[in-house]
Amino acid sequence: MHRRVALLAGAFGAACLVIALGAFAAHPGSWRAAEPMPVERTEVAAAALAGKIYVIGGFKSFFIGGVTNAVQEYDPALNRWRDRAPLPEPLHHTAAVALNGKLYVVGGYRDLWPWKPMATLFRYDPATDRWEPRRPMPTPRGGLAVAVVNGKLYAVGGKDGQVFTTNEEYDPVADSWRSRAPMPTGRDHLAAAALGGKVYVVGGRIGSMSRNLAATEVYDPAADRWEARRPMPTARGGIAAVALGGRLFVFGGEESAGTFAQTEAYNPGADRWTGMAPMPAARHGLGAAAVAGKIYVIGGGVRPGASRSSLNEVFEPGS
């Protein structure tokens, strides 16, 4: 509904637009703009580490050389960006997470077309501004999601010609991978985050933006078991998700008709979703990370498929 305000106005006139905007205002949370990324990008990965946000890879254009290995660091306290050491190779549709004071970048695709799925794992040390390769994943894939629970990294879903249910666990101490219980629902362009010692996996799609999913599934690493939870109100893929204050927040997405501005929050204790204030700019292929109680939603395409932006919008959930 949120991204279709203009259609409502055209069909029912200005009165409907006023009603719709009033409904938006009633949704919890607030947004503001922050300093844009220096380079427009989409299909990025993002993660927070030591009070900074790192935005990694993606498409900077849709021509030869358009896949980037750029890594840019945003300091929310100073509202300032700076370049950091680039990835060892250009990647898009990759995934990133912080673990033990380092940044890990997992999988993704290489090349503009055809996309080559990768099994690579790179580790970044912010103290030295250096990347190093670690043991690759057993299953090459892009469009996957990652989360960390109890010092282990979980890489779920993704695609390599087929859509995966794959769930692989990485131990950074042993630098080793092992397969774990697969997801009930295979999907790519999904999102994941850790809450309460479990991995929550939301949304995504089955190979095409015309087959978006609302599925919410939770993985318990201790029991190596999955269970279904209440689906998201809005089926969508190409999303970003962040855990903050005991809730899971999901942003954006795309379908063939357009991009989504939806922000929806999940309370795992109540197994309940709540609509939050929508993003000022609907988009997909975006990154999101939380610092000091705020969520920074960065980059992404404002139109389905081949578009990009440098947007940096800050969401404060409120109580």
For residues 252 and 3, what is the distance between their CA atoms, to the nearest angstrom? Answer: 10
User: What is d(CA 93, CA 116) in angstroms, rounded to the nearest whole number?
Assistant: 11
d(CA 105, CA 207): 22
Q: Which of 288, 299, 298, 295 is nearest to 316 (CA)?
A: 295
Token pair belonging to 315: 């969401």
pLDDT by residue, tens only, the chain of 319 residues: 444 332 223 333 333 333 233 444 479 999 999 999 999 999 999 999 999 999 999 999 988 889 999 999 999 999 999 999 999 999 999 999 999 999 999 999 999 999 999 999 999 999 999 999 999 999 999 999 999 999 999 999 999 999 999 999 999 999 999 999 999 999 999 999 999 999 999 999 999 999 999 999 999 999 999 999 999 999 999 999 999 999 999 999 999 999 999 999 999 999 999 999 999 999 999 999 999 999 999 999 999 998 999 999 999 998 7
In the numeric block, which tokens belong to residue 216? Answer: 């919410």
* Position 65 in a domain: yes
Give the pLDDT of residue 73.
98
Residue 11 lies in a domain: no
* CATH code of 88's domain: 2.120.10.80
Would you state the structure tokens that stand for residue 23, as one six-digit string?
A: 């409904």
**10 lies in a domain?**
no
Q: Is residue 4 part of a domain?
A: no
DSSP E strand boundaries for 35-175: 45-49, 52-56, 71-75, 80-84, 95-99, 102-106, 109-110, 116-117, 121-125, 130-134, 145-149, 152-156, 159-160, 162-163, 167-171
Give the span between the Cα atoms of 230 and 104, in whole angstroms. Answer: 30
Domain that holds residue 81: 30-316
How many distinct structural domains can be found in the chain?
A: 1
**pLDDT for res 63:** 87
Q: How far apart are CA 188 and CA 207, in angstroms?
A: 7
Query: CA–CA separation, 224 vs 226, rounded Å?
Result: 7
